[in-house]
Amino acid sequence: MSSLVARAQLVAAVAAQYSDHVDKEGRFPSEAVRAMKEARLLSAYIPREFGGEGADLAEIAEVVSVISQACASAGMTYAMHQIKVSSVISHGDKAEWHQEFMRRISSEQLLVASATTEGGIGGNLRNSICAVERLGDRFSLVKDGTVISYGRDADAILITARSAPDAPASDQVMAVLTKDQYKLELTGVWDAMGMRGTCSDNFKFSAEGDVAQILPNDFGEIAAKSMLAICHILWSAVWYGIASSAVSRAQSFVRAEARRNPGQTPPGALRVAEAANMLQLMRSNTIAGLSRFATAKVNDDDLGSVGFIVAMNNIKIGASRMVVDIINHALLITGINGYRNNTPYSVGRHMRDALSAQIMISNDRIFGNVANLLLMHRLDPSLAA
Ligand SMILES: Cc1cc2nc3c(=O)[nH]c(=O)nc-3n(C[C@H](O)[C@H](O)[C@H](O)COP(=O)(O)OP(=O)(O)OC[C@H]3O[C@@H](n4cnc5c(N)ncnc54)[C@H](O)[C@@H]3O)c2cc1C
């Protein structure tokens, strides 16, 4: 099999062909996801003993970025799938049901979606209203008003809920449910400014499953020890992909200008240099996140530390802000050609997709959490990773 990046480039070529249509129609990027399955990219992160390729997070982030350069909705779909798969890898690797589920993802190339948001709670994913109701070895669950990207096209959903009907809101579990076990009632259609192909409709979710499908660790631990970091890093990789595509279009625009007027430096050239500088900072931010997580992963104290949580939240905040600034630079460079939707230099879709970054778990909510932590915690001035 060819390298992950080579396969990601094949997927990106397919995604690029359909990205404008996906955006215009607000439809699922089915061609790109089919190409991911054919390239066996959905199981790339899964350990080899369960049929995957055992890729590391940096390799997955690179795949995410390559696909996102062509179609951010396809890239975000791939990122969200891997974020969910990572919870099963990190917290289900000793549980028979989840081991078998990983083998199924690998052999059937199952696409996994997420249902953490809930009506009445919004983006506060560390609280749930709905609860798991256990009866012997079985459980049932109803979650209302949940946003589930590509919910109708997924093969399985990872969902959060309180551990029991009498449990407090923050005593949560996460369960895997497969398509044959749940019913989705559409309660809100995704007709959004950007990321239109993620088809992030609202649903009432009802399901029944075996208790064995609930991940062994409580959700608080899953969120703190793997999900928060992996989510923020892979989202940042999506946004980096969007930003680099916009800068690449702006650079092509300026190079075409230079060819038309030999001997003259086009006025946009300076801004391209500035955008390249900003892009490098954004890239460094994501790479720093990867390196910080790799260090913390092997040290439980570090993984649970305030410094680590602050750093991982800052990765998301930084990337979600920089992507918008960078695309704005690309727009200033390309001018009306970038503003129009039908030129090789268009950056409108990039900008609309990128604006989702700051509300995908609101930056204000994240700043609020970090602000509380920084009341107790001194910032580390060291440059050591
Ligand atoms: C493209 C996309 C795909 C998504 N896919 C999924 C998915 O597959 N599954 C899923 O479960 N969810 C998904 N979501 C939902 C997402 O995870 C968040 O839940 C959602 O973006 C938050 O919605 P909200 O604006 O109502 O949030 P809230 O976080 O509730 O915030 C509402 C507003 O209140 C303010 N606010 C809230 N808390 C604070 C605070 N502490 N301090 C200051 N201000 C605050 C903010 O200004 C914010 O704008 C998706 C969202 C997007 C944009």
pLDDT tens-place string over residues 301-340? 999 899 999 999 999 999 999 999 999 999 999 999 999 9
Ligand 1 and 147: CB distance under 6 A: yes
Q: Using DSSP, state whether 88 is helix, strand or coil.
A: helix
CATH of domain 219-374: 1.20.140.10
CA 20, 38, 207, 50 torsion-angle sign: negative
Give the model confidence (pLDDT) of 197-255 as tens digits. 999 999 999 999 999 999 999 999 999 989 999 999 999 999 999 999 999 999 999 99
| Contact (Cβ atoms closer than 8 angstroms) between residue 207 and residue 188 | no
Ligand 1 and 361: CB distance under 6 A: yes
Q: Sheet holding 172-178: strands in order across?
A: 112-115, 156-162, 172-178
pLDDT of residue 213: 98
Q: Using DSSP, state whether 125 is helix, strand or coil.
A: coil
Closest residue (by CA) to atom 13 of ligand 1?
Answer: 147
Give the model confidence (pLDDT) of 133-183 as tens digits. 999 999 999 999 899 999 999 999 999 999 999 999 999 999 999 999 999
CA-closest candidate to residue 86, choices 43, 38, 34, 149: 43
Ligand 1 and 148: CB distance under 6 A: yes
Phi (first) and psi of residue 60, to 5 degrees? -65, -40
Q: For the chain, what are the domain ranges? A: 4-111, 113-213, 219-374
Query: What atom of ligand 1 comes closest to residue 194's alpha carbon?
Result: 1
Q: Bridge-partner residues for 172, per DSSP?
A: 162
pLDDT of residue 385: 65
pLDDT of residue 154: 98
Closest residue (by CA) to atom 21 of ligand 1?
Answer: 360
Phi (first) and psi of residue 142, to 5 degrees? -130, 125
Ligand 1 and 368: CB distance under 6 A: yes
What is d(CA 235, CA 62) in angstroms, rounded to the nearest whole number?
12
CATH of domain 4-111: 1.10.540.10
Query: 123 C-alpha vs ligand 1 centroid, how far in Å?
Result: 4
**Is pLDDT above 90 for 381?**
no
Q: Mean pLDDT score of the chain, rounded to an integer?
A: 96
Ligand 1 and 114: CB distance under 6 A: yes
Fold of 113-213: Butyryl-CoA Dehydrogenase, subunit A; domain 2 (2.40.110)
Query: pTM of the entire structure?
Result: 0.97
CB atoms within 10 A of CB 370: 17
